[in-house]
Structure 1
Amino acid sequence: MARHATYDRDTALEAAMNLFWTKGYHATSLKDLEHALSMKPGSIYAAFQSKEALFRATIGRYADRMAGDMERMIDTSPAPLAALQAHLRSLSVLSPCDRPSTACMLVKSLLEVQQDSALRALIVEQLDRIEGLIARALDRAQETSELPATCDTRRVARRIQTYIFGLKVQAQRETDPQQMTELCDDLADELGRLAQG
C-alpha cells in the first residue's frame, strides 16, 4: 500500500518561500527548513528532492503570485496604462506587513546567486515573464489609443519593471510616507506623459 504525504505541500511551500525570501538561498540551512516546515530532513528530501528543487518551487510560487496579481490588474481595467499608473501609486503604501520584506524575492535572489548558474537563469526567466506582462498591457494601451503607435512598448516595459522593483527596495529604507507618495506619483506621472506622444 502506498504511503500518503503527511504534510500539506501548500503550507510547506509558503513557509519555505518566506524563509528563502527572508534569509536568502545560501544562508538558509537544512535546520532552518526543518524548523520552518516542521518536517524532518528525510521528509523534506522525500517531498522536494533537494534544497535547490525546493527553492525553485518557491521562486515559481512567488512569480506565479506576482504575475497573477499583475494579470488581474491589467485584465480588469479598460485603460491598461492607467492601471499601471495606479499600480505604481499603490507602492507608496508598501510595508512588510505579513511579508518577509517589501523588496522583491526575485530581485533579492538574483543578486545572491552566481552569475552563470542555472538558478540565475530560472530567476531571469521569471523576471522576463513579468516584463512581458507589462509589455502586453502597453500593447493593449496602444490598441485603445492610450499610447501613441510610435511608443516602443518593450523599452517602456523595462522602465516600468525597473520602477516597480526600485520602489520596493526604496520602501525598505524610506521612513517618510509623504516622500514615498511623492516618488510614486512622480513615476506614475512620468508614465502618463507617454500618452501625450
Structure 2
Amino acid sequence: MARQARHDRQEVLEKALALFWAKGYHATSLKDLEAALDMRPGSIYAAFGSKEGLFAEALRLYAQSSKAQFQDMMTRGPTPLAALAGHVRSLGCPEARQAPSRACMLVKTLLETPDDDPGLRAETEELMRRMEAAFAEVYRDAQRAGQLPAGADPERLASRLQAEIFGLRAYAQRTDSQARVAQLAEDIAGDIEALATG
C-alpha cells in the first residue's frame, strides 16, 4: 500500500512540475493545480503543506532530473571537457525534449522570486550552487587529466559557465530565439573545448 502511495506522489509531482515549469510559481493558481493534479485543495495541502511546499518538491525533482541527465552526459565524452561541451550543446536543442518551457525552471524561479523570499529563493539558489559545484568538479577532473593547466581556477570557470548557461536559458524564453540559441550554445561549447591544453 505504501508503495502505491509513493507512486501516486511521484505522478502528482511530475504533473505539478510540468505545470509550474510552464506557467511559473506565481502565475499558477490553486484552480490550475486542482485541474492538473485532479486533487482537491484539502488533499494538496494535506500531502504537501502548501502551494509553496508542492512547488519546492517539484523544483527538487526538476533539479534531480537535470543532474541525472548531466551525469549521464559526463560519461559520454572522451574527455571531461568534451563531455561538458556536449552537455552545453544539448541545451541548445530544447525543442527535442518537448519541455513545458524553453527556459530552465531554476532560471525562471530565480528571476520571479523576490530577494527577501525566505523559502523558494533560498531553495533555488542552493540547487543552482549544487549544479555549479558539479561543473567545478568536471573542471577539476580535466585538470587532473592534464587537459587544463595547473593554474586554471575550476571554481571560477564553473561560475562563468553557470552565468553563460543562465543567460542562454533565459534568452531561450524569447519566442524568436530557437535558431540563435543553438548557435550560442555552440559558441559556449567551443569556448570550453578551447580551454584544453595540447
Name the TM-score, length of structure 1 as normaliser. Answer: 0.88
Q: Does 1:73 pair with 2:87? A: no
Listed as ranges, the matches of 1:76-155 within 5 Å are 76-95=76-95, 97-116=97-116, 117-155=118-156
Closer, same or farther: CA 31–164 of 1 in aligned 2, 3 Å: same
Q: CA deviation at 1:27?
A: 1.9
After superposition, the Cα gap between the structure-2 partners of 1:95 and 1:170, relative to the gap in structure 1 and judged at 3 Å, is farther
Matches of 1:112 and 1:176, distance apart in 2:
23
Identity %: 48
Paired residue for 1:33?
A: 33
CA deviation string 1:53-106 (max 9, x = no partner): 101101110111111111222245441111111122223322275311120101
Distance in 2 (CA, whole Å) between partners of 1:6 and 1:78 is 38
Which is further off, 108-117 or 179-188? 179-188
For 2:157 and 2:173, how far apart are their aligned partners in 1? 25
Question: Normalized against structure 2, the TM-score is what?
Answer: 0.88
| Cα RMSD, aligned residues only | 2.3
More divergent stretch after superposition (132-141 vs 90-99): 90-99
Report the Cα distance in structure 2 between the residues aligned to 1:99 and 1:110, rounded to whole angstroms: 18
Give the distance between the partners of 1:49 and 1:23, measured in 2 at CA: 21
Q: CA 1:107 to 1:78, structure 2 compared with 1: closer, same or farther past 3 Å?
A: same
The 3 A distance-change label for structure 1 pair 152 and 55 is same
Secondary structure in structure 1 of the residue aligned to 2:92: helix
Q: CA separation in 2, counterparts of 1:189 and 1:97?
A: 23
Task: Tell me the CA shift for residue 175 of structure 1.
Answer: 4.6
- Match for residue 8 of structure 2? 8
- Give the whole-Å Cα distance in 2 for the aligned partners of 1:142 and 1:154: 12
Structure 1 equivalent of residue 169 of structure 2: 168
Q: Deviations over 1:8-66 (max 9, x none)?
A: 11111011111111222122111111001011111111211211110110111011111
- Structure 2: which amino acid aligns with 1:123? T
Give ranges in structure 1 of 5+ residues lacking alignment: none
Deviation, 1:140, is 0.3
Give the residue type in structure 2 aligned to 1:184.
Answer: A
Opposite residue 81 of structure 2, the aligned amino acid is L
Q: 1:157 to 1:183 in 2, by over 3 A?
A: same
